[in-house]
Chain A
Amino acid sequence: MERLSDEVRGYAVIKAVGAEPTRLIDRCADENIDFWGVCPEDEITFFFKTRLKHAEEILGFAEKCCCEAEIVERRGVPIEAKKLRRRYALLVLPLILIFILVASHFFIWEIEITGNDTVSDIEILNALEDSGVYIGSFWPDFTSDSIRSRVLVKVPELKWLSVSVFGSRAVVEVRERTDVPELFDEDEAVKIVAGEPGIIQSISVLRGFSLFKKGQTAAESDTLIGGAVPSTFGETEIVHAEGIVIARTWYEICAVMPLKYSEKIYTGEKESRFALIIGNERINFYGKSRISDTNCDNIVSERRLGIEGFFELPVTVVKETSESYELSGADFTEDAAGARLKELTACELRRRIGEDGEIISSEFTFSVIDGTAVGTLRAECRQNIATEKQMTVEEINAAKSAGEEKNTQ
């Protein structure tokens, strides 16, 4: 802390040479002159520090104390400031910076959108830009009401929007329209068909007419629960069939993959180029420098200037790196290929039987045929095979006419 204070106030380093240089120190103490850091070089030479204003005064005492003194060095903020006194550009520059800072406060440099789930940020940003809110726009010109009315017309999925400006950051809060939930229409003509072939283990009909029983085998697309419910006394009723049909199903899933593949080997040739994005303007610091070879990876990294979590400037540094590579042939080991195919087929099986499905037993076989790995998964499962399907007009008419005939008889 003392050192910082010394630097701020400034100090001079005095060199005193004489038979008794301590006399000069005694004199300084007598005159109440601040001095510190007394450092003896040898018996006749001392160095010490003092305030800038006392330096010349001490030189005056030296002769009376029978020694020679000289100012070796002057240091500190006042000295540095004195050096910069005639550099007018340095004085003007902070003023310009302050002006830019104050002026930039009236422009939007960041737009933050909250509250949107289905409507994308880009869609909202485009609508905002058309309404006059974009990076670099002059925010005192716009009002939340005018923007709201314009944006809501452009993005009908939104029902409400507000724009709040905090410094140079615009916070856009949106509310999306909520869709009317799909209502279950009980009178809709829907039947339940088999999504997969299988042996039915249980059938629970919530609505509709069961056409299959436990133990029967259903082929794919067979109607399991009909939407036409025959009535003994009246007309055939058309309903929205509902039910759960648990069946044992069998799958054979086959997957193939070549054992040879191409591997990237980086040559070490690398080129980088830079660009600056200020607001919406991009400044490229390159011509057409890029590795012309098509076999290269291009990595683009963007870094926003500012202090993370505190503030961000609307300036982004873009670095594009091209790294050249050559393709080289490589082989999968059979074990690796087998494991990969097993994983793929298991994943496919899981997708087909659904979340509620259960694998009773499974067997995976693997073989290599002409340089190609073939994996086959055979599995027995237990799953709900009920799938809703809209009844056709012909089906409805046929069901109704069959009901009428039955009643007539």
Chain B
Amino acid sequence: MKNAVRRRPVTDFFRLPAELVPGVPKLTLSGGSEALIENHGGLKSYSRDLIEVRGRNLLLQIRGEDLELAAMTKTELVLRGIIVAIELC
């Protein structure tokens, strides 16, 4: 239901790629075992089965097993483990 509340980005109106907007979180999934999140806003929670990562206007919930924070810098974050679901809130 929250998705309905979220506003459509301006780039969508002009039919441009979404990543042109600075600071938009970008999620790259490599198979089901590694996820790269660029332009993150930090961790909200961290456990073996759920990692919550803040984005600009959203929260990414990554569910899985044996999740692990492999690397983290100011802009990028790499998660490893068995990724089961990714949810945007």
Binding site for B on A (CB under 8 A): 20-23, 25-26, 28-30, 32, 35-36, 38, 40, 43, 46
B16-62 contacts to A, CB under 8 A, are 42-48
Q: Which residues does chain B contribute within 8 Å of A46, judged by CB atoms?
A: 46
> CB-CB < 8 A to B69: which residues of A?
25, 38
Residues of A within 8 A of B72 (CB): 25, 28-29, 35
State the CA gap A303–B44 with chains docked (Å): 65
Q: How many residues of B contact A (CB 8 A)?
A: 15
Closest CB-CB distance, B68 to chain A, in whole Å?
7
**Residue B71 at the A interface, CB < 8 A?**
yes
Alpha-carbon distance between A313 and B72 when the two chains are bound, in angstroms: 53
Give chain B's interface secondary structure class: strand
B3 at the interface (CB under 8 A from A): no
In whole Å, how far is B16's beta carbon from the nearest beta carbon of chain A? 30
CA–CA, A94 and B70, complex, Å:
41
Quick one: which of A25, A30, A40 contacts B47, CB cutoff 8 A? Answer: A40
Option from B46, B70, B73, B74 in Cβ contact (under 8 Å) with A22: B46
Point out which of A29, A38, A43 has the most chain B C-beta atoms below 10 A from its C-beta: A29
Does A26 contact B43, Cβ atoms closer than 8 Å?
Answer: yes
In the complex, what's the smallest C-beta–C-beta distance from A119 to chain B, in angstroms?
Answer: 72
Contacts of A23 in B (CB 8 A): 42
Known: A20-B45, A26-B43; 5 extra A-B contacts, CB below 8 A, are A29-B73, A29-B77, A35-B72, A38-B46, A38-B68
A27 closest partner in B (C-beta): B42
Contact residues in B for A26 (Cβ distance below 8 Å): 42-43
Residues in A with CB closer than 8 Å to B43 are 22, 25-26
A-B contact pairs, 21 of them (CB 8 A): A20-B45, A21-B46, A22-B42, A22-B45, A22-B46, A23-B42, A25-B43, A25-B46, A25-B69, A25-B72, A29-B42, A29-B72, A29-B73, A32-B73, A32-B74, A35-B72, A36-B70, A38-B68, A38-B69, A40-B48, A46-B46
Which of A30, A36, A40 contacts B74, CB < 8 Å? A30
How many angstroms from the CA of A334 to the CA of B40 in the assembled complex? 95
Which of B47, B69, B77 gathers most chain A CB within 10 Å?
A: B69
Chain B residues closer than 8 Å to A29, beta-carbon distance: 42, 72-74, 77
Interface residues of B (CB under 8 A from A): 42-48, 68-74, 77
With the chains together, A26 CA to B34 CA distance in Å? 20
Contact between chains at B46 and A40 (CB < 8 Å):
yes
Closest to A46 in B: B46
Contacts of A28 in B (CB 8 A): 72
Chain A contacts of B73 at CB under 8 A?
29, 32
> B44: nearest residue on chain A (CB-CB)?
A22
B89 smallest CB distance to A (angstroms): 16
Assess the B47–A43 pair: CB atoms within 8 A: yes
Inter-chain contacts of B48 with A (CB < 8 A): 40
Measured in the bound complex, the distance between the Cα atoms of B24 and A290 in whole Å is: 86
Contacts of A21 in B (CB 8 A): 46
Which residues of the other chain, B, contact A20 by a CB distance below 8 angstroms?
44-45
Q: How far is the CA of A287 from the CA of B28 in the complex (A)?
A: 77
Q: Report the separation of the CA atoms of residues A87 and B69 in the bound assembly, to the nearest whole angstrom.
A: 40
Among A23, A26, A28, A46, the one with the most B-chain Cβ atoms within 10 Å of its Cβ is A26
Chain A's closest residue to B77 (CB) is A29
Closest to B69 in A: A38
Min C-beta distance of A3 to chain B, whole Å: 14
Report the bound CA distance from A38 to B48 in whole Å: 10
CA distance A25 to B77 in the complex (A): 11
Task: Provide the bound-state CA to CA distance between A22 and B51, in Å.
Answer: 10
A32–B72 alpha-carbon span in the complex (Å): 9
A209-B71 Cα distance, complex, nearest whole Å: 107
- How far does the Cβ of A29 sit from chain B's closest Cβ, in whole Å? 5
Residue ID in chain B nearest A29 by CB atoms: B72
In the assembled complex, the Cα of A29 lies from the Cα of B73 at a distance in Å of: 4
A24 (CB) vs chain B CBs: closest residue: B43
Q: How far is the CA of A38 from the CA of B81 in the complex (A)?
A: 13
Instruction: List the B residue with the shortest CB-CB distance to A31.
Output: B74
Bound Cα distance A32, B77 (Å): 12
- Determine the distance from Cα of A35 to Cα of B43 in the docked complex, in whole angstroms: 14
| CA A29 to CA B77, docked complex, whole Å | 9
A155 vs B44: C-alpha distance when bound (angstroms): 91
